Amino acid sequence: MSKDISIDQHQSRLTGFLADRLPKISLIIGLAFLALSLLFSWKNIHHFSYSYLTSFMFYFVISMGALFFVIIQHLTRAGWSVLLRRVAEVLMSNLWVLALLFIPVLFMLPHLFHWTLAEAAHDHILKGKSGYLNIPFFLIRAGIFFGAWLLISRLFFKSSLKQDETGDHSITLSLQKAATWAVAVFALSQTFAYVDWVMSLTPHWYSTIFGVYFFAVSAVASLSTISLIFMILRRFGFLKDLVTVEHFHDLGKFMYGFNIFWTYIAFSQYFLIWYSNIPEETAFFHQHFNGSWNTVAIVLAVGHFAIPFITFMSRHARRNLPFHCCMTIWFLIMTYVDIFWIIMPNITPDGFSINLTDISTFLGLGGIFVWAFFSRLKSVNIIPIKDPRLPESINFHNV
């Protein structure tokens, strides 16, 4: 039976703590911890650079995954997800603040990337890659990447907001058409971005599926974040009658599926490199299995794959909202551990360690990210109120 719910009563925007106090508190926390991180950087700029990049990539993959979510929902003409799409649209719109937060990385290039140093000219492997790995081309690519992502996110977000005002159903059709080229641009640009910003930290090493690996990371992180945000919204009384266990169930299926996909890509990358045993390819895993980093790798195998595979497989688990909420937090923790394990062995090769700089940069960038998200969300309708598929989403039921 269809729900008889008046959409008018749900057009109000965020009010109370989420709209007024939370953005301000987040901004204060973010600026305070970023300032603290800068103080730590005076002591060890090298470590600060890696800590900053690690935290930046964590929040970056959330917004990139949200961008993919929005594109793919339009591309597949999905109706079930319309109620969820506005949160994803606001998450992807955070790319503008991430573009600003990427600027400090440009000043840290000599501390992050070995191929930027003069001594790289005497390395025959890096010399062969110098046509691609050079600072001017790196900057040009970064500008192109962010330009493409900001253009796509603005197109989809502004068009969605315009439909809120006009109710023009043709906007939905135009976004479906735009999604066909947007998904191709997304796939290429995100692949090269992850190669540039993460894989080139170990410039002698290469993997042809590294971009796919990080795509899986971004999908799991963004779906977990979207689900967690709706848990928070419901906790504060928003959308309780609209976003139901049926929607969380489908989000859980996507989270579970993409997490299995992450496992498949991670194992494929490791197994093929281990089997071929080519020195240029094995350097990465020699470094990341050294000392206590091997323990972190085991934690990822168990925590990122085995535990979710067993506990989140059943329909009942995905529909149990308290447990579902715990799993979204767990997935986000494992995402950070994964990114930390990929990046930080370059600065602490002897084994795992975490210090105040790592914590302060994570909280600093996180505060800015949360501030940008809720500041934008409170200025728009929480759901696309005039999307033609909204009734389908409201009455969605899993079979």
Give per-residue pLDDT as tens, 156-188. Answer: 999 999 999 999 999 999 999 999 999 999 999
Q: pLDDT under 50 in the chain at which residues?
A: 1, 4, 8-11
Residue 282's pLDDT is 85
Task: Work out the widest C-alpha separation in the chain, in whole angstroms.
Answer: 72
Q: What is the helix, strand, coil percentage profile of the chain, to 5?
A: 80, 0, 20
Helix 245-276 to helix 279-288 angle, to the nearest 10 degrees? 120
Task: With both helix axes pointing from N to C terminus, report the angle between 45-75 and 95-107 in degrees, rounded to the nearest 10.
Answer: 150
CA 153 – CA 64 distance, rounded (Å) = 10
> What are φ and ψ of residue 191, in 5° steps?
-65, -50
Tokens of 219: 């999908």
Q: Read off the DSSP letter of residue 344.
A: G
Q: Are 382 and 86 in contact (CB under 8 A)?
A: yes
Whole-prediction pTM value? 0.95
Please name the amino acid found at residue 298. I
Q: Which two tokens stand for residue 140?
A: 């040009």
Q: What is the DSSP letter of 301?
A: I
DSSP 157-187: HHHHHHHHHH--THHHHHHHHHHHHHHHHHH
Nearest residue to 375 (alpha-carbon basis) of 9, 70, 96, 143: 96
The string of pLDDT tens digits covering residues 246-288 is 999 999 999 999 999 999 999 999 998 888 888 778 888 988 9
What is the 3-class SS of 92-157, one letter each residue? HHCHHHHHHHHHHHHHCHHHHCHHHCHHHHHCHHHHHCCCCCCHHHHHHHHHHHHHHHHHHHHHHH
- 16: which 2 tokens? 């109370």
- State the pLDDT at residue 333: 98
Q: What is the DSSP string of 14-78?
A: --GGGTTHHHHHHHHHHHHHHHHHHHHHHH-HHHHHHHHHHHHHHHHHHHHHHHHHHHHHHHTT-
Q: State phi, psi for 244 to the nearest 5 degrees.
A: -110, -175
Burial class of residue 192 (count of CB atoms within 10 Å of its CB; 0-12, 13-18, 19+) = middle
| pLDDT value at residue 3 | 55
pLDDT at position 10: 45
Residue type, 199: M
How far apart CA 62 and CA 339 sit, in angstroms, is 12
